[in-house]
Structure 1
């Protein structure tokens, strides 16, 4: 005989020798909400199904999870008959899910004076002077579940001897000033807060870049440095050689805090990233509508290249990027595996991870204290000049111009073509004039284009 049963969201009642199951939709919604399921309302007005745990941890979930929760609950009570009824009418449909309690979440990415890292055992809050750890229940705000590092935070005072710290110092050529700059760059990338005025892309280049080489040399440790960043904050990896304008970041998720474009090629146009760096992050996924991540929650940009990364010359470009030249400490002659005797990250014990975590926190603290420290150029400025013109043109100008002068541009162009014939036989007078101005600006010389008696001249005054 079937007895009357009143479950959390259903009733089982006798019915002509059998049983009748009634599922109450409002109570079913309350059941799911008691487990933390919510309707996350997006800026577009649409929504995503999420689950919130510990008052602060947010995870985007698929609707099948709702059916799974119902099944587990009913099996624990031996009420499979109710699940049969649940399946008949597909209660976990969009028409019901859209009636879950809606929430609008502002994710806590810190601010200009405070950062936080998310570990299994709590939230590490960091300022320029100290750090502390609190539970997720105490944390004010929300964090994506995928931002949580899959290890406990246990600080070590021996962070200076961390293998990753030594590796970073080697990338800076063991130069203390450059090492300090690179630590600030690491801290900047780790801190998810985005300053609306100054949140540039970080570009890692080779110190010994040879622009005359057709094939650039790599293996300097740039990708391994980015991997270290990804051990603290979730990053989205994209191969630069496959970078195209269609579905630029189709694999990006909302929890990603850094985008790493690895090994972008010689023809990469930095200008296509301008809108992403300075505003809301719009991206498309295949077979889905465009998604938008608001600027404060959008990822920072990290780029590595064996070539110069160029866009439109001038202040508008320079304020959008910080370039760091990686030393030639590593390369074909020496790899990090050979240097340390094992693979970084993969072969570490618990103590090495503790030192790594502590070093990364120190980098973030230094960034909060000192800001983003731009490194001094080694070969960067010279390489920019050669990229914006041509290495042979720079060589020609450095040989020809030693003092104040007034040159006939047509005669000077012919002289250049004769010297490097036939490579520059198609070089136009307009482009040559542009190169002259770029070269003079780089040298900080006074210059001017003038016309006289039907001829065009370029005047150069070398400041003493």
Structure 2
């Protein structure tokens, strides 16, 4: 029952009511209202209750006071005074008097992750998953971390529909499924202390072949699956405009993952480097910006129907983890056609929800144990080279480049021109050969000898780069 002795007004001998503004601030603090510092110029109003914290606004404060005056005390007279001067009693100046609390740090630990459900929370380590009651939770959490589901361990051990779906995306190959589970686990683990600062990039296995941009294979459903477990902001990658898209207005302190779905082919991966390696500047409309440092910033997932281009080199490739999705599903054959249900809708059985969450937590467990597992490329090398050279160049180079052997560059170039009727400059051919060498993990060298211009792509016997 609510305490009826919280008085933040006075009544004089003429029964005139006066709201005491310092006491109304104290009353709000007792109700859990406070502010969190985001930057030197910006604070956020929050409410902490039952070890859970969330963003709040003036409307909730007004509702709390209205409820107390009318429903608890039945004091219409005081409420009338409050209602007439509400903008005086509740305003930005008054909010600055609220106590400042530390920003809640409920991100995962380096070797431990947590899923929060309505009834329990789960702790995941490389050794297993423990289901715990909230009485054992020793720190406050953001309220929006709590998933709207009462989790119970599945009654039977048969594979769930979502896991079966993932196996199809992995070409029904257990090794590729392990790699998929590792990147799902990486994206679900809300921690950046493991030294794997990478964006996950998803492609279709037939991307770019025969000049087509394939889609509808299940990439988007994977990002939706993660959004059922963590705080995810999904952006339409086709709508990104170079030079104006780092406003990040929808990103918040509790955002765990940013998704750029179907990325515009003209956007360079280099534009994401600061987001991956340093942190994120967030600009809210009509508010001062604030900065989320790298260790607290969201991870990044990109899906694309084209090879995501970048500057190349170690700084580029070291920031990306790429995975090709099998073209098992299409626009004409969807997961609903296969399984007879829509994943994640209100009709999906609770047992499937439980199996789904268990699969996702087991994916985190796998990641904590093995890190990011790399899958073998299917067509990615060919697609990457084709996008940066000519559609026929990959096959031509595969046939005519002799590794570890000096070759005449002019002869190589002229033969390509004759075979494919392509007008290519000497400089462009140099860049194509350099790209091909990088693509197969070789060292590209050139030299002039007896008026001839020669090139060599050197590779070790194991196919590794020779330094």
TM over 0.5: yes
| Partner Cα distance (2:61, 2:105) in 1 | 24
1:60 aligns with 2:47: no
Give the secondary structure class of the aligned counterpart of 2:225.
helix
Q: 1:54 touches 1:136 (CA, 8 Å); kept in 2?
A: no
TM-superposition CA deviations, 1:62-91 (whole Å, max 9, x none): 122212211111112122222332244420
Residues 288/407 of structure 1: CA separation in 2 closer, same or farther (3 Å cut): same
**8 A Cα contact 1:204 1:303, kept in partner:** yes
State how far apart, in whole Å, the 2-side matches of 1:175 and 1:153 are: 29
Contact 1:124 1:131 in 2 (8 A): yes
Task: Verify the 8 A CA contact 1:157 1:358 in the aligned structure 2.
Answer: no
**In the alignment, what sits opposite 2:369?**
369
1:431 aligns with 2:428: yes
| Structure 1 residues 184-221: Cα deviation after superposition (integer angstroms, max 9, x where no partner) | 111111111122621311111111223441x3111111
Aligned partner of 2:352 in structure 1 is 352
Task: Assess if the C-alpha contact under 8 Å between 1:124 and 1:133 holds in 2.
Answer: yes
Given that 2:205 and 2:327 are in contact with CA atoms closer than 8 Å, whether structure 1 keeps it comes out as yes
Tell me which residue corresponds to 2:220: 223
1:371–1:399 distance in 2 versus 1, CA, 3 Å: closer
SS at match of 2:90: coil
Decide whether the 8 Å contact of 1:157 with 1:355 is kept in 2: no
Offset at residue 412 of structure 1 (A): 4.0
Aligned residues: 452
Q: C-alpha separation between the residues in 1 aligned to 2:143 and 2:21?
A: 29
Is the deviation greater in 40-49 or in 341-350? 40-49
Aligned counterparts, 1:108-127, within 5 A: 108-127=106-125
Q: TM-score, normalised by structure 2?
A: 0.89
State the distance in 1 between where 2:282 and 2:413 align.
46
Tell me if structure 2 keeps the 8 A contact 1:160–1:359: no
Contact 2:6/2:27 (8 A) holds in 1: no
How many Å apart are 1:140 and its aligned residue?
A: 3.2
Match of residue 464 from structure 2: none
- Shift in CA distance, 445/99, structure 1 to aligned 2, threshold 3 Å: closer
Partner of 2:233: 236
Q: How much has 1:333 moved relative to structure 2?
A: 5.0
Q: Note if 1:449 corresponds to 2:462.
A: no
Residues 188 and 91 (structure 1), Cα distance of their counterparts in 2 relative to 1, 3 Å cut: same
Show the counterpart of 1:78. 74
SS in 2 for 1:254: coil
Shift in alpha-carbon separation, 1:296–1:441, aligned structure 2, 3 A:
closer
Please state whether the residue corresponding to 2:392 is helix, strand or coil: helix
Query: Which blocks of at least 5 consecutive residues in structure 2 are unaligned?
Result: 462-467
Runs of 4+ in 1 over 6 A off after TM superposition: none
Shift in CA distance, 156/39, structure 1 to aligned 2, threshold 3 Å: same
TM-score by length of 1: 0.90
Report the equivalent of 2:27. 31
The separation in 2 between residues aligned to 1:240 and 1:29, in whole angstroms, is 44
After the TM superposition, which residues 29-178 of structure 1 pair with which residues of structure 2 at under 5 Å, given as runs?
Answer: 29-44=25-40, 46-55=42-51, 57-76=52-71, 77-89=73-85, 90-136=88-134, 138-156=136-154, 158=156, 160-178=158-176
- Give 1:294-443 correspondences, 5 Å limit: 294-332=293-331, 334-346=333-345, 347-402=347-402, 406-410=406-410, 412-421=412-421, 424-425=422-423, 427-443=424-440
